[in-house]
Structure 1
Amino acid sequence: MGRIWTRRRPTGTPVSPPAPALYGRTSTSYRTAMVAPAYFAQPTTTRERLIAAAFRVVARDGLEAASVKVIAAEADITPGLLHYHFPGKAALLEAVLREALANYLEASARRREASPPERQLADYFKTSRASLEAERDFFKVRLAFAAAALTNPSLAEVLRDLNDASARETALTLAAARGETDPTPRDVEIGRLLKAAIDGIMLSWLADPAFPIDAAADDIEKAVRAWIA
């Protein structure tokens, strides 16, 4: 959830097609190109199938289109079976966000534990750059939730919880870069700032694929290093 940075594209490599709007139906070409994060790509249980289906529907058709009926059809199950696993649409959509966060925190912790202090920031940004395409649709989904949360207090509370957890994970990385395990209040503050910057950058890139995301990535990395110097 804190990952945004793109891989460098060799000269002559075709540019990806424009990213779709955050709301409303998308083109057939984008539906074909949509890439779910790995943790949603191979569901095994019915619950996982429902979470993956909800993700696909929101990413492809928009949040307003994600009805219980549509999600159940996407998962190839009956609406009644969906209600057996989730009390309603809101609980299922919350599960999409929480499942993605849990996978992000797990992957980030593995990276953090495997990297020595002097490599923490370099590995953090390297991993983030490499994950951009795989995470593109997840950011599209999460930003759609963020927009909806502006008028939905219950959803806003969920997003605050998830954002706090993501920012704290970044703070743990900053502490690890000093060879420490406990983040300082300043680490947490930087984690929050970075989270907000990432969301803004991703929104700009999703709305306009010509947005200079490589330059933004470079500037953010330099800023973080300056903040902790």
Structure 2
Amino acid sequence: MATGSKRSEQAKPSYGEGRQALVRAAIRLVARDGLAKLTYRSLTAEAGVSQGSLRHHFPNLNAVLEASLELCLETTQSYLRKPSGSFEDLFAHLATSLREHPEIPAFQTEVFVGARHEPDLKELALRHQEAYRERTRTALADAGLPYDEDLVEILVAIAEGIVYQRVVFGADRAHATDRQIAGSRRLLSALTAALTEPAGHQGG
């Protein structure tokens, strides 16, 4: 009995590990089963911790979602910050991130849809989306292209469309994602040429 008890104690996550276990479990659970399936019981079962541990780390499930979105944002930004080489390759890292971390966009999509009815979640979703806007603004500036917030919104919408289609249709549609990325390169190349063409040559 003493040996079993000792093993049980060793298996329990430490303070920081317990919090991370809950955050990562929330991402897995919501990505796999949907936001409606996130409950105290399902989350603690997925994470392998007690409900007491959950309440010790988080006051409510929205706090878990907030921490989970923050982790998703950190992971997403690690891809967004990678040098793309040129403005045409703005979306080049999307395919890699979707392949290596498919649970993240799936989780984000579930939370963003739920944000329609939850003001707190809507604020989190908007803050998360702003990271994509900022990356696009930086790419425009690095390419020496004129600042245009309308263009930023359009490009973010394209990126989100690529991500959401992959979430809905899954890895079986990976070839479609590759085609979309390739198409975006041609679109951005044409856009760059149009924005850098001398004014006297436009429309001529």
TM bracket (short chain)? 0.7 to 0.9
Offset at residue 78 of structure 1 (A): 0.9
> Which residue number in structure 2 is paired with residue 80 of structure 1?
52
CA distance in 2, matches of 1:215, 1:174: 23
The 1:122/1:46 distance shift into structure 2, 3 A limit, reads: farther
> Which residue number in structure 1 is paired with residue 17 of structure 2?
45
CA distance in 1, matches of 2:113, 2:152: 21
CA distance in 1, matches of 2:59, 2:146: 39
Find the partner of 1:58 among 25, 30, 33: 30
Deviations 1:134-163, CA, capped at 9 Å, x for gaps: 232211111111211122222112111111
CA distance in 1, matches of 2:134, 2:190: 19
> Which residue number in structure 2 is paired with residue 173 of structure 1?
139
- Asked whether the equivalents of residues 112 and 122 of structure 2 are also in contact (C-alpha less than 8 Å), the reply is yes
Offset at residue 98 of structure 1 (A): 1.4
Question: SS at 1:131's partner residue?
Answer: helix
Structure of higher CA gyration radius: 2
> Which residue number in structure 2 is paired with residue 105 of structure 1?
77
User: How many residue pairs are counted as aligned between the two chains?
Assistant: 175
Deviations 1:143-201, CA, capped at 9 Å, x for gaps: 111211122222112111111122112221222233xxxx9641x44333222222223
CA distance in 2, matches of 1:121, 1:143: 26
> Which residue number in structure 1 is paired with residue 184 of structure 2?
220
The 1:72/1:205 distance shift into structure 2, 3 A limit, reads: same
TM-score after normalising by structure 1: 0.67
> Which residue number in structure 2 is paired with residue 127 of structure 1?
93
TM-score after normalising by structure 2: 0.74
Question: SS at 2:102's partner residue?
Answer: helix
Unaligned runs of 5+ in 2: 1-15, 196-204
Unaligned runs of 5+ in 1: 1-43
- Asked whether the equivalents of residues 143 and 199 of structure 1 are also in contact (C-alpha less than 8 Å), the reply is no
Find the partner of 2:115 among 149, 152, 158: 149
> Which residue number in structure 2 is paired with residue 94 of structure 1?
66
CA distance in 1, matches of 2:131, 2:106: 19
Letter in structure 1 aligned against 2:132? S
Letter in structure 1 aligned against 2:161? G
- The structure with the largest helix share of the pair is 2
Letter in structure 2 aligned against 1:159? A
CA distance in 2, matches of 1:169, 1:84: 36
- Asked whether the equivalents of residues 89 and 185 of structure 2 are also in contact (C-alpha less than 8 Å), the reply is no
Letter in structure 2 aligned against 1:224? L
Matched, 1:137 2:103: yes
CA distance in 2, matches of 1:84, 1:212: 44
The 1:46/1:190 distance shift into structure 2, 3 A limit, reads: farther
* Identity among equivalent pairs (%): 26
CA distance in 2, matches of 1:184, 1:145: 34
Deviations 1:84-122, CA, capped at 9 Å, x for gaps: 11111011011111111123224433x23xx6xxx2336
Q: Kindly report the root-mean-square deviation, in angstroms, between the aligned alpha carbons of the 2 structures.
A: 2.4
Offset at residue 75 of structure 1 (A): 1.2
> Which residue number in structure 2 is paired with residue 196 of structure 1?
157
The 1:77/1:185 distance shift into structure 2, 3 A limit, reads: same
